[in-house]
Structure 1
Amino acid sequence: MTKKDSAAAGRPGVVEAQAGERLWRLSRPADLESLWAAMGEGDLGLDERLPYWVELWPASVLLARFIAANAAVFSGRFCLDAGCGLGLSSLAAAAAGARVLGFDYEPEALAYARRNAAENMRPGEGKPLFAVMDWRRPAVPRGRADLVLGADILYERRFFEPVADFLDFALAPGGRALIADPERGVSAPAAGRLRERGWRVRVAHTGRVAQGGQDMTVNLLEIARGDSSPL
C-alpha cells in the first residue's frame, strides 16, 4: 500500500496526538482529502507535490512518542527534522531539550509548523527553527547534525538515494538517523540499500499506532555508521 493509497481524512483545522504526557494540538488548513479534491493537474509540479504534510501520519506519532520516552538521547543535541510537515517531531525533540531545525520543501507547511510551535511550546522550552529546504540540495553545514529525524519519508523508492545522500552529507561523525517507517512493501528495500552504502541499520523500536483513521505497525529505524554505538 502506498502513502497515496492510504491517505487519511482527519478532522479539518486541527489534529491531535498524544506523546508521553503531552497532548499536541496542531493547526492545519484542512484535511488531505479536501485539499486533494481541490487540486488541479497543474498544482502537482514535476515532483508531484501532493499536500501530504497536512496529515499526522502514524509514523510521526510513533517518532514523537519515542522522543518523549527517551528525552536524554535528544537533550543538548542538534537535530535536523527532514520533511517536518506540521512539525510534530520537531516540537517533541525541542521539548526534550534538543536544538532543532525542521525543514520541508513546502513553505505553507512551515508556516503551520511555526504556528504550532508558538501554540504548543511551554514557557522555558526552546522553540525549533524551521526552514524551506530540499534534502537534494541541503543548505546546512556538512557533518553538522547529531541526529536526523524523519517520519514516513521513504514512501516512494525514488526517495531512497536522495535520503541516503542527505545522511552522508548532514550527519556528524558518530551521528545517527532515526526514521519511523510503516510496514509497507514499497519502503522495505530501503534498509538493504543503506547497508550497501556502509550504514548500519537496525529496528530500535516497533509499535502499533492508530492515527487519522489508520492503524499501522511502524518501525523506528536507527541508521548509523558501523563505528557508532547503538542508542
Structure 2
Amino acid sequence: MMSLPQKPETYFFKDQRLEIYVPEEQAILDKYRNNKDDAYWAQVWPASIGLCLFLEQHTHLIRNKQILELAAGLGLPGLYAASFAKQITITDKEPLAEVFIKKSAQHLDLKNIITKTLNWKDATKEPLPEVLLLSDVNYEPAVFEELKQVLQFFLERQVTVMISTPQRLVAKPFIMELLPYSSLQWNCTVSLHQKETGVSVFVLK
C-alpha cells in the first residue's frame, strides 16, 4: 500500500526514547477533507502517551506477556510495550495506520511486533492475548455498546484489559459501566502541543 508523506516524531520516557513515524499534517487534511473522523488514527493523542506513562510505572503487568493493542492509531503504546512484552500484535482498522506502525517498528528494530489491519469487532477471532491495550477509544457514543461487548469477551476469558481515556464528559458513561471490573485506576496529566490533558488509565480484570 502507498504511504503518505511522513516525518519522525520523538517521545521521551524515563527508560526509552521512541522515534516513530507520523503522517504530514497537510497530507492528512488533503486525504480526509470529506471525512475528518477517519483521520483520528493519524496523530498521537494524550491518552496514548498517558498509557505509556502508566506502563512505565507498571512494567510487571506487561513483562513477558502476549499483548494485543486494538484501535492503535500510530501504535505508540504498543511500540513502547514491545521492549517488555514477549510478543505484541498492534492493530487498527485503517490500513494506512498499519503501514506507519510497521515502519516505526522497523525503525526501532523491534522484532517481536506483529502488525495487522483489524476492526476491533473482529478481535474476538484473534489468538487470545494475556493483555489487551486500548487508548482513547471511547469518544463516540454510537460505538460504546459494540466496544463494551468486545471488552466483555476478553474479560470473561481472564484477559487483563488496560484502557486509557482522556477525562472528557462524553467518555464518562462508558467508563462508569466498566468500573465493576476495575482493579486499578491511575491518573496523570499529559502535556502535548502546549495543552494539558487529564488522562485516566483503568486496569480491568
Question: TM-score normalized by structure 2?
Answer: 0.86
Aligned match of 1:138: 123
Query: In structure 2, what is the equivalent of residue 186 of structure 1?
Result: 170
Deviation at 1:106, TM superposition (A): 0.5
Cα-Cα RMSD: 2.2
Match for residue 3 of structure 2?
Answer: none
User: In the alignment, which of 70, 73, 77 is matched to residue 89 of structure 1?
Assistant: 77
Residue 214 of structure 1: aligned partner: 195
| Partner secondary structure for residue 178 of structure 2 | helix
Matched, 1:68 2:56: yes
Is 2:102 the partner of 1:109? no
State the distance in 2 between where 1:18 and 1:37 align: 30
Q: CA deviation at 1:212?
A: 3.3
Paired positions, count = 200
Distance 1:71 1:172 in 2: 23
* Partner residue, 1:174: 158
Is the CA contact (8 Å cut-off) linking 2:155 and 2:204 kept in structure 1? no
- One-letter amino acid of the counterpart of residue 86, structure 1: L
Is the 1:55–1:212 contact (alpha carbons within 8 Å) kept by the matching residues of 2? no
Q: Aligned to 2:113, which of 128, 149, 153?
A: 128
The match for 1:79 among 44, 64, 67 is 67
CA distance in 1, matches of 2:113, 2:194: 28
Segments of 5+ residues of structure 2 without an aligned counterpart are: 1-5
Letter matched to residue 77 of structure 2:
S
Deviation at 1:38, TM superposition (A): 5.0
After superposition, the C-alpha distances for 1:79-110 in whole angstroms (9 at most, x for unaligned) are 11011111211111111124111110101111
**Which structure dedicates a bigger proportion of its chain to helix?**
2
CA distance in 1, matches of 2:10, 2:184: 26
Deviates more, 1:206-215 or 1:145-154: 206-215
Percent identity among equivalent residues? 20
Q: Is the 8 A contact 1:180 1:221 kept in 2?
A: yes
**Aligned partners of 2:93 and 2:193: how far apart in 1?**
23
CA distance in 2, matches of 1:140, 1:98: 20
Distance 1:28 1:89, change over 3 A: same
Deviations 1:143-173 (A, max 9, x none): x121110111111112221221112234563
Verify the 8 A CA contact 2:191 2:197 in the aligned structure 1. Answer: yes
- Residue 165 of structure 1 corresponds to 149
